[in-house]
């Protein structure tokens, strides 16, 4: 995830000229070999920061929500379903959700998935 416009970056760009560089997809792909696919392409729209006149191609970090293996399966299923089925509304309210897709959520990152979350992704034909 990449949050657009965080305060520190806004303050820095307001007082210091910053040069924004694109990160080529090949670099993201190479890094993903080491990080198990946790990096995702992300675009910072033009004008997000002072002096940034064009969109910048960068990367974001996939986020993981952890729970206890003993957490109630129905509760985890409900949480997972509600999160993914309301993702668009979350993205409208908070830029840190930009670039997230159910396919990324369903991906196997080498950490066991809770059975409730697994059930949702299976029903959504994502696993």
Q: Is the pLDDT of residue 115 over 90?
A: yes
pLDDT, tens only, 26-82: 998 898 888 777 787 778 888 888 888 999 988 877 777 889 889 999 999 999 999
Q: What is the DSSP letter of 95?
A: G
pLDDT, tens only, 55-64: 998 887 777 7
55 touches 4 (CB < 8 A)? no
Mean pLDDT, the chain, whole residue set: 85
Rounded to two decimals, the pTM is 0.66
Q: Is the pLDDT of residue 97 over 90?
A: no
Nearest by Cα to 126 from 94, 103, 96, 97: 103
Residues in the chain: 127
Res 1: pLDDT: 45
Helical segments of 1-127, H only: 7-15, 25-35, 73-85, 87-93, 102-106, 115-123
For 15, phi and psi rounded to 5 degrees? -120, -15
């Amino acid at each position: 995830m990449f949050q657009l416009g965080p305060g520190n970056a806004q303050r820095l760009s307001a007082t210091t000229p910053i040069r924004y560089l694109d990160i080529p997809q090949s670099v993201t792909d190479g890094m993903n070999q080491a990080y198990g696919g946790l990096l995702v392409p992300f675009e910072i729209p033009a004008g997000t920061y002072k002096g940034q006149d064009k969109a910048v191609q960068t990367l974001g970090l996939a986020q993981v929500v952890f729970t206890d293996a003993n957490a109630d399966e129905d509760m985890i299923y409900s949480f997972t379903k509600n999160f993914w089925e309301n993702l668009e509304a979350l993205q409208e309210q908070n830029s840190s959700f930009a670039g997230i897709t159910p396919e990324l959520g369903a991906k196997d990152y080498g950490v066991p998935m809770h059975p409730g979350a697994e059930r949702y992704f299976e029903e959504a034909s994502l696993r």
